[in-house]
Every structure is written in structure tokens, then in C-alpha cells.
A and B are shown apart, each in its own frame.
Chain A
């Protein structure tokens, strides 16, 4: 049996090789890697090699555990854009179960300096069926953005919310 808990600890090791090895093993686990969803999102801000394996694990794992949403929500505002991007992505995958993350997502949509993070936040707000005033305002503003992709994603999310 794979020692998932041990690997979660390894992701936080002070030794880069240990962290990289743990991330690589999670990248081979498929949905079983969800147990370390938040830790893997944090690893996206690590050294490039470890980060690559963390991204590979996150791409394949599917939706994270619902109880990871608070941790993920806190990572949305990470100064490392890849961390924020993947936090938004996993929250979006949780769909309506992550609705209580909507205001943090809205905040990121308004204030993140990274376009990819803002775009994923706009996408995620639609996925989680956001309905708060802050979320609707943020999406409405984003739907008028000069960034064509952000504009399209925000408009699509607003459309989802109306449906």
C-alpha cells in the first residue's frame, strides 16, 4: 500500500529531493492523490521539478476532497501565481460544494495581478454557482474587461449563474 500520509509529510520536507520524489509519486496516483490536494497546490510554488510533478498530479486527480476547500481558499491569494491558479482550479472542480469560497474567488478575480489566476477565478465562480453580490459584481466587471479571454470566461460564468 502506498503511504499517502507519509508522502504528504514528504511534500513539506526541507529536502528538495524528498519533496520532488513525493510529488512524482503523487503524479502516478491518479485520484488517490486527492488526499494531498492542498499540499500539492502549495508544491506548485516549489522548485520547478517538484512543481511539474505537482501540476501533473493536480491535472489528473479530479475534484479534491470537499473538506480541503478552506485550505484551498486560503491559497488563492498566494503570491506565487501557479499556487493561486491551481487553488482556483480545484475549487472550481468542487462545483457547488465550494460555494462558500465564492467571496475569496471574487476577491482574487478583482485584485490578482496575474491574468491566468483571474481567468481561472472567473471560470471557477461559474462552476461553483456563485450568487453573492461580490461575486456577481466581480464577474460583471470582468465581463467588460479588455482581456478577451477573461471577458469570455466571465460572461460564460454569468450565463451559467442565470441558467
Chain B
């Protein structure tokens, strides 16, 4: 793999005025921002995330007395204070009606040690404004802590300190997350960045295998941001390794872009000779039935099916896509993290967080086959 080291704060605007030859020359760019810190474990019992325990969660939510309040209730309280919505006060905290059968899965309160929870989250206009709202920042940090890796879309800010500050909030409880962030991308002056935020106690990434793949025909408004990860285990040679391909399509050119992503996916399948697991995830602006050539790749599958992924619950835009047979580490568990229900928010409050919910899928931490693939890698993974 050809790599080129670049500073994480490099601005790369995909304007049509740029020569496409420059894009093709820059085949892989290394864009890493390494921070982190904190002590202690990351598990937070009693915080609901998505999974099959929805009924338990809802029962708990509807029966909890005020003095049973957990961090989630605290978050809901934080929303009450000074914030106002377009409609006025946001003081009423909506709770799900008793017995409500949610169409989505809510996860267990602990991440299973032998499995990885990989998520995608479009945090709409994730920049200074959201960082300046403590209630939103606290909630977003808590959301990230439910997962081992989160692919984030829509980091939009002039400054380069959004992710470092976000990381500090995530790790404030002693968690040990880190992040890597891509270049600013877009056809206009309005650009956005992709990021991966990951729990360093659970996964590691290879700094030599991070970058932005080329789009020689200039079909994508924002080329995906890719990175190769490995589950942390006591036997690294047997650990699950995988590419994550973080993507966000343009809503007005979805059909062309999902076709282009089919080519990106195929390219990533051969990007490393010792890697057969490619997980393309993000905001596709397309449901599983609208994936064009991407959805027609023989053997391809998707985690999210038959569920709405936006906050208004009327669009299925976000997903995780991978080869069913190659990525047999997928356990079959997936979900849409319903922030409104999980944190007891009103619809207006949930929309203040994002117009998307996180989506996630669960994978085993062990490679299904063939073993010892990562031992062939030329570079050690980041510790």
C-alpha cells in the first residue's frame, strides 16, 4: 500500500478547480491525530445501549422512580435547564409509554468482552455549536462509550480542536478512547471531515493503513475515510482485523455515489493481501433497497434492515455493509440506537443532538479464517 504522511490538520477541499491528477497521485494519506488518556475501565453498568434488551430497558424506564435516576436521567435533566427549542421550553421529558414495542433493538448495558460493537453516527454539523452545549456534549460522549469503534460523519468546524475536546469529554470518566480524523472534504467551501473514535483498550489501528482512497472519476463529493483496525486480544495473530470505510453520500447524487462506492468497496477488498474484511459504514442517504451496484455485489450484506435510522424515524439512511461470507465474524446482532428513548429526550431534544441515530453491528473479536493474517502485516499496529 502506498502511503503518504500528512498532518491531521491539513485542509483538503475537493473542489473541481483542483486537478484530479493530484487526487490520484495522493493514493493513501495518513492522517492521524493521536491523543488519549485517562485511567480505569470503560464499562458503565446500567447505561442502556441498543440490542435485544429493549423490553427490559423500556420496563426499567417506565418504572423507575426519580431516586433511581442514573446518568441517563441526569442527562435528561441537563436538557431541561436553560435550553429552549424552536417551540419554546424543552422542559418536559418524554418517556416511552409502558408496554411500547420498539421496532429497534436496544443494546445491553455492557459491551461483551468477546465481541466488538462497531457503530456509525452522523452527528449533524458536529462543531463549535454542539461542543458549546454541555448537555449535548455529555450525551454524545456517553453515546460513544457504548461502542468500541464509532465512525463519525459531519465534523464541520474551522478549528482542529473539536475532536480533541470531544475525546477529553469521552475520557472524562476514565475511558481510554482515541481518534483519527480525515481531511476536510467537499466540492464547495462547505466541507466536512470523517473521524473514527475508538476504545484503545479494545481495538488498535495501523497508522500505515489509514487514508482517503482515490476517486479518479470524481464521482464522490467526499471520498471515504478508511482505516484498518484489529481487536485487542491476548493472541493478536488470531484477532479480528478489518477495514472500516467511513462514508457520507451527497443527498442529491445518491444513485451515482452508491455505484461509485461499489468500486471503492471492491478496491478495499484487495487493498491488503492479508485482509478480507471490509466494513463500509456511514450515512448513505439510501436504504438497503437503494444501494445500486453496491448492493448488487455478489455476497454482500448489510446489518440494518427494515429500520429507520434518522431521528424523525422516516428514513433508512445509515448502515454497515460487508461481505456476509468473508466477514463471518458478524454475530447477526445490530441495532439503531434510539437516542430519544435511551436518554428520555423529547423529539426536539433528540434533534438538537443530531438528525441521525447511531447504527451498530456486533462482531466477534476473533478472526474466523484464515488465522495469522495480521502477522503478515509489515507494520506493527498502534499501541
Q: Do chains A and B interact in one complex?
A: yes
Interface residues, chain A, with chain B CB atoms under 8 Å away: 1-3, 7, 20, 24-25, 27-30, 44, 48-49, 51-53, 55-56, 59-60, 81-82, 85, 89, 92-93, 115-116, 119, 123, 147-150, 152
**Can you sample 30 A-B contacts with CB below 8 Å?**
A1-B87, A25-B85, A25-B86, A27-B124, A27-B125, A28-B86, A28-B348, A30-B355, A44-B190, A48-B158, A49-B127, A49-B128, A53-B125, A53-B129, A56-B125, A59-B251, A81-B189, A82-B189, A85-B187, A89-B252, A116-B187, A116-B188, A119-B16, A119-B187, A147-B16, A148-B20, A148-B217, A148-B218, A149-B217, A152-B217
Bitwise, B259-272 to A at CB < 8 A (1) or not (0) is 00000000000000
Is B165 in contact with chain A by the CB < 8 A criterion?
no
Query: A2 touching B16 by the CB < 8 A rule?
Result: no
Which residues of A are found within 8 Å of B187, using beta-carbon distances? 85, 116, 119
Give the CA-CA distance A28 to B17 in the complex, in Å. Answer: 32
Is B15 in contact with chain A by the CB < 8 A criterion?
yes
A24 in contact with B129 given A148-B20, A148-B218 (CB within 8 Å): yes
Q: Please give me the 10 A-B residue pairs with the lowest Cβ-Cβ distance, nearest first.
A: A115-B16, A2-B86, A28-B351, A149-B218, A116-B187, A25-B86, A55-B190, A56-B125, A52-B156, A2-B87
Shortest CB distance B247–A (Å): 15
Interface majority SS on A: helix, strand, loop or mixed? helix
Give the CA-CA distance A123 to B16 in the complex, in Å. Answer: 15
Which residues of B are found within 8 Å of A52, using beta-carbon distances? 125, 127, 156, 190
Interface residues, chain B, with chain A CB atoms under 8 Å away: 15-17, 20, 85-87, 124-125, 127-129, 156, 158, 187-190, 217-219, 251-253, 312, 348, 351-352, 355
Which residues of A are found within 8 Å of B251, using beta-carbon distances? 59-60
Give the CA-CA distance A116 to B219 in the complex, in Å. Answer: 13
Give the CA-CA distance A123 to B251 in the complex, in Å. Answer: 13
A55, A82, A89 — most chain B CB neighbours (10 Å): A55
Give the CA-CA distance A55 to B312 in the complex, in Å. Answer: 19
Give the CA-CA distance A85 to B85 in the complex, in Å. Answer: 30
Query: A3 touching B86 by the CB < 8 A rule?
Result: yes
Give the CA-CA distance A43 to B311 in the complex, in Å. Answer: 25
Which residues of A are found within 8 Å of B17, using beta-carbon distances? 115
Give the CA-CA distance A27 to B87 in the complex, in Å. Answer: 14
Give the CA-CA distance A37 to B158 in the complex, in Å. Answer: 25
Which residues of B are found within 8 Å of A150, using beta-carbon distances? 16
Shortest CB distance B340–A (Å): 13
Which residues of B are found within 8 Å of A123, using beta-carbon distances? 252-253
Q: Nearest residue in A to B352 (C-beta to C-beta)?
A: A28
Query: A149 touching B87 by the CB < 8 A rule?
Result: no
Q: Nearest residue in B to A85 (C-beta to C-beta)?
A: B188
Query: B355 touching A7 by the CB < 8 A rule?
Result: no
A7 in contact with B124 given A30-B312, A149-B218 (CB within 8 Å): no
Give the CA-CA distance A149 to B129 in the complex, in Å. Answer: 34
Contact of B188 among A20, A56, A82, A148 (CB under 8 A): A82
Give the CA-CA distance A51 to B252 in the complex, in Å. Answer: 19
Give the CA-CA distance A115 to B17 in the complex, in Å. Answer: 6
Apart from A28-B352, A60-B355, A148-B20: 18 A-B pairs, beta carbons within 8 A: A2-B86, A7-B86, A24-B129, A28-B351, A48-B158, A49-B128, A52-B156, A56-B125, A60-B251, A82-B188, A82-B189, A85-B188, A93-B252, A115-B16, A115-B17, A116-B16, A116-B188, A123-B252
Which residues of A are found within 8 Å of B190, using beta-carbon distances? 44, 51-52, 55, 82
Query: B125 touching A116 by the CB < 8 A rule?
Result: no
Give the CA-CA distance A7 to B171 in the complex, in Å. Answer: 37
Query: A81 touching B188 by the CB < 8 A rule?
Result: yes
Which residues of B are found within 8 Å of A51, using beta-carbon distances? 190
Shortest CB distance B132–A (Å): 11
Shortest CB distance A94–B (Å): 12
Give the CA-CA distance A27 to B252 in the complex, in Å. Answer: 17
Which residues of B are found within 8 Å of A119, using beta-carbon distances? 16, 187
Q: Nearest residue in A to B87 (C-beta to C-beta)?
A: A2
Give the CA-CA distance A85 to B250 in the complex, in Å. Answer: 13
Give the CA-CA distance A49 to B217 in the complex, in Å. Answer: 31
Which residues of A are found within 8 Å of B16, using beta-carbon distances? 115-116, 119, 147, 149-150
Which residues of A are found within 8 Å of B218, using beta-carbon distances? 148-149
Query: A49 touching B355 by the CB < 8 A rule?
Result: no
Q: Nearest residue in B to A28 (C-beta to C-beta)?
A: B351
Which residues of A are found within 8 Å of B219, using beta-carbon distances? 149
Shortest CB distance B115–A (Å): 34
B156, B158, B188 — most chain A CB neighbours (10 Å): B188
